[in-house]
Amino acid sequence: MSKQHKSNRYVRFAELAYRAAQASYPKYRRKKSKKTFTQPQLVACVLLKLYLNVSYRDCEEWLGATDRVCQALELSTVPDHSTLNRTFQRLTEIRLNKLLTHVLADMDVKETVSAGDSTGYTLSSASAYYRTRSGKSLRGWVKGAYAVGTQSQLILVARASRRNSPNDAHMLAPLRDGAQSYACGDDWVFLADAGFDCQAVTDRDLVPPIRRGGRLVAPDRKARADLVAQARLDGLFGQRWKTETVHSVIKRKFGGDIRSRLKQRQNREPLIKALVYNLHC
């Protein structure tokens, strides 16, 4: 294949984002809108901006210099950076989850094993060296919790939380129940670490029980510990580490910080990063 016809990852990302946005958004917001751009075009541009991990102004300049991406998005002119910013403000959590569902449905994802874990995103883009030298402490973070399919390594479910706690028990049910929609067969299991240990654990969950006081007393918790130990020996529980790979890819490529300043928008960014990651894969 010649280089001229070789698939470009930016063009491919733009096409996938545009197709998902077309399936999730009406063409125009209002009946009497200016109709300079469609909603799917603007949403795809915002997702591309987050994929590039650049500012709105830089994204505007980048689009102006990239004919193939504009052609894939059917853009006759490039949207202004302020227009892209307003589009981002309208990306609600409901809309983002709908986009994520359309992307996964388009890829026909089916999993026999899913794994859940969370990661923290800082509220400052300052480097760790600067924070250490300046003596400023970390002011907090936004937590992103993801359910990942171990075969496809795609994010099946994404949730955001502002609880500054290592315990993720409140995220177990939303992640597991959402991931079960993509289960293949009756042998589907959900893997998670001890931070997800709670009363919501079911027979399909492989979650190590926390040893309170250094020991296990309840028979059901002892039985679960034996199941997890056997899963470790079989190599099944080791599949949970693929969630760490997903976290690493997201932070290296799309940034490990939250750029929004309003709390309402900060909770959206872990969901957007999950959507962008799936489109990237």
Across 9-13, 21-25, 124-128, 147-151, least confident range: 124-128
Phi, psi of 209 (to 5 degrees): -75, 145
3-state secondary structure of 229: helix
The strand pair at 189-191 and 205-206 is best described as parallel
pLDDT band of 218, cuts 50, 70, 90: confident
- Judge contact between 37 and 11, C-beta under 8 A: no
d(CA 231, CA 238): 8
d(CA 154, CA 146): 10
In Å, what is the CA distance from 52 to each residue of 78, 91, 102, 265?
A: 16, 18, 22, 19
pLDDT band of 6, cuts 50, 70, 90: low
Handedness of CA 21, 27, 33, 35 (dihedral sign): positive
User: What count of other Cβ atoms lies within 10 Å of the Cβ of residue 189?
Assistant: 21
* pLDDT of 122: 84
pLDDT higher than threshold 90 for residue 36:
no
Candidates 186, 106, 209, 100; CA nearest to 147 is: 100
